[in-house]
Structure 1
Amino acid sequence: MPTHPSGLSAVPDPVSDSAPASIAERAAAPRTLQVPTAGGLTWRPWTRADVPALTELMNAVEKADGRDWFISSGEVEELFDAPVFDAASDTLVGLDADGTMLAHGSVERYPTTGVSLLRAGVTGGVHPTRRGEGIGTELLAWGTGRARQALAALGTDPEVAGLPGRISAHILDVDPPERHDLLRAAGYEPMRYYANLLRDLSAPVPAIGLEPPLRLVPWSDALEDATRLARNDAFRDHWGSQPRTAESWRAHRSAFAPQWSFVVIDESVLYEGSEQEQPGDTTVPPGTPYVVGLHLGERYEHDWESQGYTAGYTGLLGVRRAYRGRRIAAALLTHAMHVYAADGMQRAELDVDTDNPTGAPALYARLGYTKSDGSTLHTIEL
């Protein structure tokens, strides 16, 4: 199951009054990329026709790494529809003489509208039968170089050229220890830690209500962008979180479970619309209910057999900063847990930044969640 990690904001130079170096300079991008030569594989970009074979390869890598959950073909397919994606430049797959896929790599880029940090994420893997040949080392070098190129290209935009940049790679605790060494050798450092939490739904779940004028309502298309703006405000003080655009908000929804998703509105507020809240954003008209909290549920049914339990997954839980301390998060999460249980789920599951600034880990502990595993975000700061 995916996790969703992000990055830091800029720190001004206390000594120099000059403008910061452009990301084009700081990224130190290579002029050309060296395609891996180790292992004697043939390399080319991904295509949509590769989705089944890519999914099979990624699952083989994940299984060899000791995971009990796996990427689905729907999740691979939706990578091609990401807001910023160019398969020709951002992906590689390595094939043997028979055309069998044995290694993959990709670089994820993100929209830059309204951001305070420029980001690129590197992912990849080598089939367990071809490890130890140096393929992973060279594939990581390619991915890091491509990420540097992608960030450097943003230097042509004066609105973002001076922002800090980050290249990231995510590793699970169950992944081979040498993978951490591989990243360190490539210049990455561990930056942030995450915990995957489980809650047994056979244990009693408390019922936590809301005081009027707050009201919990189902997720709806009519409130999609109002919910997005609530998410952006809720996560504004989270480490590295960047605002979602209308397009990026609707991306990566293959696991979205609308029946497990809810929002809280404040019925006392006559909302003036997104233009008032975020100048230039006209996606939410005046008079739209004012969303102050959200729970986005996800369903990873393809993992239930390998995990040994069924689960409702909380992909996002957030509360506008001005509304914290009113038990909104607890009301949303416990309501979701009741709905999960009513749908026959055995566990509630979520992932959390262990240094979450809202005290979320303490809330989850009070509600009976316990850690099942964890992960680390490694980064190169630019």
Structure 2
Amino acid sequence: MPSIVPLLPPGYRSQPASTDDIPAIHAPVTICEREAYGRVQSDAKAVAADFARPGLVPESNTVLVLDRSGRLAARAWVNRRSEVDVHPEHRGRGLGAALLDWTQARARQGDSVVQTVPDADPAAAALLRSRGYQPLVTRPGCWSSPCRSSPRCPSRRRMRSPSGWRPTRAPDRTAGAADMV
């Protein structure tokens, strides 16, 4: 499967991630988690587990976004689920939109994509809504969005709710999360 390179704003470049990048990836993930949840929820082993996902090919399923100085500004991976983190210092510059485009392009290559978005990140939820995503499933703390109903993403696969999660018809909440479709 050919690699897809995200179209990034000026001053940024991308490259695939490797297991050597796990410590560099985990550092901004902790910043994003602390901002979204008030505490760090993962450790470097959780990032390493992403690389161990069956079928994940780092060269085509991961991307690191580096700023002019070579520091990690954002990262994403896609493999049935997707995860995107943009360092708070680099938000509002189009990186989230570029990485959403990248995840949708990967979905068009055959991956069904689910994106989890914390309620504490209203800009990310607004970005997904602007692309036609709607809440699907709620759970405390985040939104998840399968790439299936966006006009730019032809995948029609439906995400199965994990055990203990309940679909909701009420996407507007002050706390909690929803899967976005």
Between Structure 1 and Structure 2, how many residues are aligned? 157
Distance 2:177 2:36 in 1: 13
Structure 2: 5+ residue stretches without partners: 142-158, 169-174
Deviations 1:75-114 (A, max 9, x none): 1112221111100000100112322111101102xxxxxx
State the one-letter code of the partner of 2:110: A
> Could you tell me which residue of structure 2 aligns to residue 375 of structure 1?
177
User: 1:39 touches 1:133 (CA, 8 Å); kept in 2?
Assistant: no
Query: For residues 36 and 62 of structure 1, do their structure 2 counterparts lie closer, same or farther at Cα, with a shift above 3 Å needed?
Result: farther
Residue 56 of structure 2 corresponds to 85
1:181 aligns with 2:101: no
1:170 aligns with 2:137: no
Amino acid at match of 2:100: L
Answer yes or no: is the 8 Å Cα contact 1:195–1:354 preserved in 2: no
CA contact (8 A) 2:138 2:178 kept: yes
Residue 194 in structure 1 maps to residue 6 in structure 2 = no
Structure 1 spans left out of the alignment, 5+ residues:
1-30, 109-119, 152-165, 197-238, 243-315, 317-351, 357-372
Higher relative contact order (CA 8 A, sep 6+): 1
Closer/same/farther in 2, CA of residues 129 and 39 from structure 1, 3 Å limit: farther
TM-score by length of 2: 0.76
Question: Using the alignment, how far apart are the partners of 2:19 and 2:176 within structure 1?
Answer: 31
For 1:188, the aligned partner's letter is Y
Percent identity between the aligned chains? 25
Distance, in Å, in 2 between the alignment partners of 1:355 and 1:125 is: 25
**Contact kept? 1:42, 1:94, Cα under 8 Å:** yes
> What's the C-alpha RMSD, in Å, of the aligned pairs?
2.5
Partner of 1:107: 78
- 8 Å contact kept, 1:141–1:186: no
In 2: Cα distance, 1:95 partner to 1:122 partner: 19
Q: Do structure 1's residue 129 and structure 2's residue 75 form an aligned pair? A: no
Structure of higher CA gyration radius = 1
Measure how far apart 1:132 and its partner are: 1.0
1:184 aligned counterpart, secondary structure: helix
* Aligned-partner Cα distance in 2 for 1:170–1:376: 8
| Deviation for aligned residue 1:169 | 1.2
Residue 139 of structure 1 corresponds to 99
Q: Does 1:354 align with 2:166?
A: yes
- Other-structure match for 2:160: 240
- The one-letter amino acid paired with 2:11 is G
- On the 8 A contact 1:47/1:87 being kept in 2, the answer is yes
